[in-house]
Structure 1
Amino acid sequence: MSDELVPNDPGQMRASDADRERVAQVLHKAAAEGRLDLHELDERLGATYSAKTYGELVPITADLGVPSPAVLPAIQQAAPIDRVGGTPGSSVSFAFWSGCDRKGDWVVPPHHSAIAIMGGIVLDLTQARFAAAETTINVFAFWGGVDIIVPEDVTVIVSGVGFMGAFENRTTITPSIPGGPVVRINGLALMAGVDVKRPKRKKIKNKDKPELEY
């Protein structure tokens, strides 16, 4: 059997012109209510009309406080993984001329700080639980790097800044499951790099066991 993409992913289904138009109407209403300025409206309309799948449409209205009109019933009905609850773990990840990895089954506290000074930090939230429904991760990187891997059932909002460095958000094309945890990532990358991303799905032969790569 030839390699194939993991099937049954509603976010990868093709969107119609009517779907794009419904999202555009939501954006125009949000601009009229003051939720978006003209630059944001223009930027999001461009993303809307160039979107090819439901997965690309969903994030465009995700932060406007209204359900996306383009969400498939299969996505709306999907039960989010029960990730909220448990005793919080450490509130700080620190790396100075060293590395710090947090991954596997750990409980992220409501507020977590990641500080990398001439070192590297990996925060892998793929199998993590969250002490609260909304989590804030504050990042400071100086001559170092921080990678944050956020699973698809977690909504992520990134507002960090890079100065002579990069604070990158590569999660916007992946849909989030309504009702899942929310993670806000803020901070500063000073001559350093911060990379927020989703796990990537590989092409595999055994469709019953999808693999993830980072």
Structure 2
Amino acid sequence: MASVTDSDSLRASDADRDQVADKLREALAEGRITPEEHAERIDAVYQAKTYAELAPVLSDLPGQSGPAPSVSLRKEENAPAPVSESANIVAVFSGAERRGRWLVEPKTTLTMVFGGVELDLRQAVLSQREVEISVTCVFGGLDITVPPGVRVTWNGFTMFGGQQLPGDDPDDLNAPHVKLTGVILFGGIDVKRREQGDLTKAQRRAERREHHRGLHDHHLEIREQHQAFHAEMRRARADRREHLRELRDARRASRRRC
């Protein structure tokens, strides 16, 4: 490995750009920069090729005399800027997915009615250290894949459904945090933790098929529960009508005796 005397001319790695983006998210959360400045600087970060291009992004923030990431000569390819997507995803009697290098907004809203959504966050860039995914799931399903080192929590309401979260969240409270909120009715959320490239394309297709088969079986089970619930309600109404009829007959018989 050749010695380097001018660090500014070194090529920045993907990890370097991600570390600078993390510092910008911290500055945004602390109120040091505005959302507009944050968006502008994030664009500059993911277009930067060298440390010299990264330095101005952090130069006016406390404790920064230049780009903070350590020098890495392992990855020199220029990663594309994350794709900015809509913060609203709707799947009604259909499916939707989001994967690759995309920008996760501070709050993403998912609406699933008899539909499913797949989110892959392994290459995604979080706009801030904690992002919220608000879920409205009615007879639907949500699959989320996160990389190691990301905390995932659920803080919502569930009825006739459930959520399965990974049990190996990092102990570091400053780790990136995906907060799931919202309502699940007759549906479910499944969160998996995987390294990038863990599965082949064929395995991913097989997993999707299994997931959709599971959704189909789940919908059949929910339909049976729904039908049983309505049958029970009909029986309860019939019993109530019979009880009222008996009360009326008893009152009439009492009046005749008088």
| 2:34 counterpart residue number | none
For the residue of structure 2 that corresponds to 1:121, the secondary structure is: strand
- Indicate whether 1:99 and 2:95 are aligned: yes
Structure 2 alignment gaps of length 5 or more? 1-15, 26-41, 44-83, 205-258
Offset, 1:161 = 3.1
Aligned partner (choices 181, 188, 198) of residue 183 of structure 2? 188
**Structure with greater Cα Rg:** 2
Offset, 1:110 = 0.2
Contact 1:155 1:182 survives alignment (8 Å): yes
Of the two structures, which has the highest relative contact order with CA contacts closer than 8 Å and spacing of 6 or more?
1
Q: Report the structure, 1 or 2, having the larger strand content.
A: 1
Where do residues 1-214 of structure 1 align in structure 2 (5 Å cutoff)?
A: 82=19, 84=22, 86=42, 88-169=84-165, 171-175=166-170, 179-199=174-194, 211-213=197-199
Q: Percent identity?
A: 31
Contact 2:152 2:180 survives alignment (8 Å): yes
Give the TM-score of the pair, scaled to structure 2. Answer: 0.43
Contact 2:150 2:169 survives alignment (8 Å): no
For residues 176 and 197 of structure 1, the distance between their equivalents in structure 2, rounded to whole angstroms, comes to 18
For residues 174 and 130 of structure 1, the distance between their equivalents in structure 2, rounded to whole angstroms, comes to 17
Give the TM-score of the pair, scaled to structure 1. Answer: 0.52
Q: Report the structure, 1 or 2, having the larger helix content.
A: 2
Offset, 1:178 = 6.3
Structure 1 alignment gaps of length 5 or more? 1-78, 202-209
Root-mean-square deviation (Å): 2.9
For residues 114 and 149 of structure 1, the distance between their equivalents in structure 2, rounded to whole angstroms, comes to 15
Aligned length, in residue pairs? 127
Contact 1:112 1:136 survives alignment (8 Å): yes
- Structure 1 consecutive aligned stretches of length 4 or more whose deviation exceeds 4 Å: 176-179
For the residue of structure 2 that corresponds to 1:159, the secondary structure is: strand
Contact 2:113 2:137 survives alignment (8 Å): yes
